[in-house]
Structure 1
């Protein structure tokens, strides 16, 4: 399959513009999920099913493209492209097949799930097609400092994200709905430790891939979950009088 440069460029700019729009919307209202879902909300999916449905397309789309790619890529070693694609797929395999079945979250509104399915499908195709058919890699790409740094950032962010989710998941016993202050790991520095980890992940991915689609996705991630960290931070401060004053919302010691 040849690189569909027009489609890649168009979808990348859709992510960038969509990220700006989503950021603006979140300055006006809370995204209706988790603690911000009203009890009178309409149709919802159980948390585990909702998370699985909305995350799995981002894993299946690049996997399908990988299986359908019969001819070698235009330039660069296939193993390099596959490794970079696997970093993307690893995150979504974890989110859909591990995190989704461990979560104890609240039901997810139907419109959130449907919108996420659309986004995950388009982004999964964009990142998969871009890596398999568009990105150009040099033969010595593994020794490139930029790509090595990007992969290291991805691993660090992925680890922070998983560890932070583990801390949040174990704050409450099964069936409990009360909120508690998280401690440990990056939660000692920021209220949105899980969001911080995911942002570091995708920034590392963008540095390693070094292409417009990867940067567009990282930008969209910052715009979409960055405000959630601030919303959580403010909610914690309002709920708990003894909430640690030294914690920031998203970026340690800064923001």
Structure 2
């Protein structure tokens, strides 16, 4: 796996180094949004918050794509960039319009928007200006496998989000036990779906920046799934004890 551009390589290694540090922080102090938001923090409506924090990861690579001049294996590059953008198209334009979650703290929106901007630049610039693909890229088993894994993860993510959304009526902020789909196996089915997505994306592109994103995702939302799992167990006496936090049958 190679990346010739110094800025892309540096950003990728920065993600890899920061990921375990962020994981340790998550273990000690859960991310303070959603059910863990401290009282008194300034927040914005959930739909606006999710849109503002996620949309940079859609717009930045889109602008890079529209401004790039494709040569050689341009189809492969475009397809991989669109794969990345597909996730954020869903998160920023569909999920944000349908969520019934709690208001999002403004500081969380700001930090998430910064991360999504950097991530969007890293992935878009790498794939459009640094990555190289052979003319027979589309015949590679690894590429096909990666796309399939990504689509499986996206399906799990969307289906799990729909289950969580349907647990509440409009205006409600109550918590209920999610049932159905991958929630029968893990408490963080939506997080599992996103982890599978980015692992598939990393397999398909097979590069340092995509692997860095997958690794950072595991370290950032894996602990979140465990925190939800623990919260469910404390909140509901009848919570299914056979469920794991994020990895079916294991963890």
Normalised-by-shorter TM-score class: over 0.9
Residue 122 (structure 1) shift: 0.6
**Distance in 1 separating the partners of 2:17 and 2:48:** 29
> What does 1:158-237 align with in structure 2 at a 5 Å threshold?
158-237=154-233
Give the secondary structure class of the aligned counterpart of 1:27: helix
Residue 140 (structure 1) shift: 1.2
**Distance in 1 separating the partners of 2:112 and 2:18:** 13
**Distance in 2 separating the partners of 1:36 and 1:193:** 19
* Structure 1 runs (4+) greater than 6 angstroms displaced: none
**Distance in 2 separating the partners of 1:67 and 1:226:** 34
Mark the runs of 5 or more structure 2 residues left unpaired by the alignment: none
Aligned length: 249
Within the alignment, does 1:238 sit opposite 2:238 as a pair?
A: no
Q: Deviations over 1:58-114 (max 9, x none)?
A: 0000000011113x34xx421111111101001001100110010011111111111
Residue 14 (structure 1) shift: 1.4
TM-score, length-scaled by structure 1? 0.96
**Distance in 2 separating the partners of 1:8 and 1:224:** 21
**Distance in 2 separating the partners of 1:173 and 1:189:** 25
Within the alignment, does 1:22 sit opposite 2:18 as a pair?
A: no
**Distance in 2 separating the partners of 1:27 and 1:228:** 9
User: Match for residue 114 of structure 1?
Assistant: 110
User: Match for residue 45 of structure 1?
Assistant: 44
**Distance in 2 separating the partners of 1:221 and 1:12:** 13
**Distance in 1 separating the partners of 2:14 and 2:49:** 24
User: Match for residue 154 of structure 1?
Assistant: 150
Mark the runs of 5 or more structure 1 residues left unpaired by the alignment: none
**Distance in 1 separating the partners of 2:168 and 2:48:** 20
Q: Deviations over 1:139-175 (max 9, x none)?
A: 1111111111100000000000000000000001111
**Distance in 2 separating the partners of 1:120 and 1:186:** 27
User: Match for residue 59 of structure 1?
Assistant: 58
User: Match for residue 10 of structure 2?
Assistant: 10
**Distance in 2 separating the partners of 1:52 and 1:146:** 33
**Distance in 1 separating the partners of 2:249 and 2:27:** 22
Give the secondary structure class of the aligned counterpart of 1:51: helix
**Distance in 2 separating the partners of 1:99 and 1:178:** 19
Residue 4 (structure 1) shift: 6.5
User: Match for residue 253 of structure 1?
Assistant: 249
8 A Cα contact 2:73 2:132, kept in partner? no
**Distance in 1 separating the partners of 2:30 and 2:223:** 9
**Distance in 2 separating the partners of 1:21 and 1:61:** 26
User: Match for residue 36 of structure 2?
Assistant: 36
- Given candidates 92, 99, 104, the residue that maps to 1:96 is 92
**Distance in 1 separating the partners of 2:116 and 2:18:** 14
